[in-house]
Structure 1
């Protein structure tokens, strides 16, 4: 899916919120600014020179996108902070920072705001080249962290392995309940699994598989985030309990129409609403950012990922599944002993 950074604020912000990618982008660009308040900064003049545009164009973009550029690090210095900068310029007379002694306000950009302008500019060929390089770097960073397969980026999360291990037990409770309490053929397992998936994230298993481009041998739950696995477990374990109790109450297996009525009542319990909303937001937003996968039925839930999400899946605390398995050996043993 091609990304046009000039029109998509979500795509822009996801890059600017990705600290792992930003480090690589800064290295690749090698742009020269000045250090102020322990951070690289740029003046409007420096920005205009880099993107080969005039300063009035920069001003126009700031005015049109002030909220976005402001939250990404553009600030206007006045008073004491401006005085401190002027003193810095005076101490380093060789600097190319153009700050006149009579200047009373000065807008400066940090690196994120510098990139933000470049993602918006349509008049600059250099900005266009930069956008292309940025997208390549972001893809390379994710591929390096995931070994080239973003399908399983979910497994880098420290919460994944426990959620995955526990959901297997809840899944068995569910399939046993279907086997013992529901008077239908084996297709009931696929039917009621799909009902759960549609209830949670508006997609059947087949649709989810197509969106993530999974082949027939790949287990879709291997690709699900821990929050998705947790709510699926809640559905399966909770509905299994309802089936068991109803079957005992009636003294027989349930017919398909009876199970459908029970499921409709079950999924509409108010306790599930906040959990479903969170699951949809996580799936839609993460898959677009990390996997370039669009869940069309969840488009309204797509939002910008905060920096913590990128650290969670790409940062130093994220790990390959093999490393996680080693870390959680004792935890697995404890859970096994509880069965």
Structure 2
């Protein structure tokens, strides 16, 4: 008996939407990084399993700002995948002193040029975000308007569907065998065999119910765990420079972000020798942290205003809200 499992267009679209909208589904597939190379050659930084915003934008054939927006909206998720930051200057120094690296590093005005394997990429001297393959794949699951991302999702769904079909066919065959066994017992008038097969069918169905309940418990636990992670992330002591936060907000510079916050009454103007401080109702929101540190190389103490994890997320939302209001005005 031949069994055909057909997935219609609506079902396919439903699965695509699930990838875009469901973190649980993305988490399940985020480890299948081999899909990236199947779809298109992915250029990573030399001797590193990381790519920059620019490299990811080139891979998915979208503007850099689009990648930055995805990062801002899903910051906790992408950081869980291993996202990190480093200054372009430090990255260039590491490559220049790496005896195993064949990359050519050229310091140019305003950026650093890295050439390797017949390819070239530019990075700024300031802090840059570095994404591992897992995060790059996750971005592909989140991007809506990218042909490359659509192909990535198709490949992921093909893999999932192949595994799913194999499981479904095996389950259907098991159920058919039990039904045929029951039919034979009924035709033979074997009451004992009928009772035995019925017991097998009940056990089979109970096993499926247990699987569904286990999956429901798993999803509930995942939801609770995710809530705890997000809370811990927001409440963490980690702080960021204005440049690090600005990078994820429409590609702003640190200065542009400071000016935006000053114009909209979040930060005050500083006098010489002072630091930027929140003003008005923004004093108590926990967006900023003023810290005194010791310079690594000179040993000189300095005081700066940093942005907290809570501030990073809420400032990005505040910026989007202001932009939307200005566009609709």
TM-score, scaled to structure 1 = 0.41
Higher RCO (CA < 8 A, seq sep 6+): 1
TM-score, scaled to structure 2 = 0.42
Q: Which has the higher helix share?
A: 1
